[in-house]
Amino acid sequence: MYELAYNPTSKLSKLLKNISIDYANFDFINEFFIAQTTRKAVDIYASSDNSHIIFEVKTDRVDEKALQQALYYKDLLLQRLGAKGIESSVYVQIIGKRFSNKLIDLIKKLNILKTQIYLIEYIPIEENKWAIFNYVCRK
Amino acid sequence: MYVENKIKHPCPLKALKTDPYSLGIFNKKVDFILEPIEYNEVDRCLILAKSINGIVSYILIFEVELLNEVNLDLIYKNFTKFVLELREGNFREAELLIICKEISSSAKEIISTYNQTYIYRPPIKIVINEYS
């Protein structure tokens, strides 16, 4: 959150090499209610003019249930965007410490349909005050 | 999570356009009122409107000879374009059905993965046309 707020260029350009983001119009919000009637809150939602990023953050191991949840949020966001939305402009980032092999396999297959799902592993450092972020699989 | 039906017909899209229940893919009891709204012979695509208690959803039917990763990607792109433009991004109100003579194992795996991860969307259905 701190990096997104104070240094998005360095953090996001490193993580999201394939996404073109207009940082002048970049903003983010945490605990974002994506559809009021469903009472579903996305952990972090970030957007610029043409890109939307859903961050689903888990504290430890991530499995396919997190993927199902994130894709549901993605559908709710697409519905919210309506005709203005383009599926390829909505990115899903699932952050966790560890990932199940099944999840990695599912994402590799789904990304053949250009579903734009990314897994990011975080490694806590400096007594859990900070973290290093690495991509787990991109395709 | 992967289900396929089988049919045997020389022109399944034309048959479905004339009578959506004719090939046994759809059932009057389950699918209620089906009405063809658009047919594109060049793209081999048929759109059916499905009405249940006044709520209208859509079924997009594509026909290909061999369904592989490449044309599955193309079909999916057309499907998402339709949902975003005409259904305002509501994927729960649109179903995708693909009729093919053959399906590659990778396309089968992608569809199976899609059906078990997009749990709030209707599953992608496959119909194998055994007509030769």
How far is Cα B82 from Cα A115, in angstroms, rounded to an integer?
Answer: 16
Task: Check if the beta carbon of residue A119 is closer than 8 Å to that of residue A137.
Answer: yes
pLDDT band, very low/low/confident/very high, at A30 (cuts 50, 70, 90): confident
B20, two tokens: 């959506």
Strand A27-35 relative to strand A52-57, pairing = unpaired
How far is Cα B9 from Cα B20, in angstroms, rounded to an integer?
Answer: 14
How far is Cα A58 from Cα A18, in angstroms, rounded to an integer?
Answer: 23
Residues of A in contact with B117 (CB under 8 A): 64, 67-68, 71, 106, 110
Select the residue from A79, A80, A86, A101 to test the B interface by mutation, using most B Cβ atoms within 10 A: A79
How far is Cα B43 from Cα A128, in angstroms, rounded to an integer?
Answer: 55
Question: Could you tell me the domains of chain A?
Answer: 2-137 (3.40.1350.10)
Interchain CB distance below 8 Å, A109 and B109: yes
| Chain A residues in contact with chain B using a Cβ-Cβ cutoff of 8 Å | 64, 67-68, 71-72, 75, 78-83, 85-87, 106, 109-110, 112-114
Q: What percent of chain A is predicted at pLDDT more than 70?
A: 78
Strand A98-99 relative to strand A61-62, pairing = parallel
Task: Considering only the beta carbons, identify the residue of B69, B90, B113 that sits closest to A79.
Answer: B90
Interchain CB distance below 8 Å, A109 and B89: no
Which of A17-21, B52-56, B92-96 has the lowest average pLDDT? Answer: A17-21
Q: What is the mean pLDDT of chain A?
A: 81
Q: What is the mean pLDDT of chain B?
A: 91
pLDDT band, very low/low/confident/very high, at A116 (cuts 50, 70, 90): confident
b/e sequence A109-120, b meaning 16+ C-beta within 10 Å: bbbbbebbbbbb
pLDDT of res. A90: 87
pLDDT tens digits, one per residue of B41-83: 888 999 999 988 888 899 999 999 999 999 999 999 999 988 8
pLDDT of res. B28: 81
Interchain CB distance below 8 Å, A113 and B72: yes
The stretch A22-44 carries a mean pLDDT of 79
What distance, in Å, lies between the first and last C-alpha atoms of chain A? 26
pLDDT at position A139 over 90: no
Nearest chain A Cα distance for residue B61, angstroms: 18
pLDDT band, very low/low/confident/very high, at B127 (cuts 50, 70, 90): very high
Pick one of 3.40.50.12170, 3.90.1150.10, 3.40.1350.10, 3.40.640.10 as the CATH number of B4-129: 3.40.1350.10
pLDDT of res. A82: 73
Report domain extents, chain B. Answer: 4-129
How far is Cα B114 from Cα B106, in angstroms, rounded to an integer?
Answer: 12
- Give the containing element (helix H, strand E) for A67: helix A64-81
pLDDT at position B12 over 60: yes
How far is Cα B84 from Cα B102, in angstroms, rounded to an integer?
Answer: 29
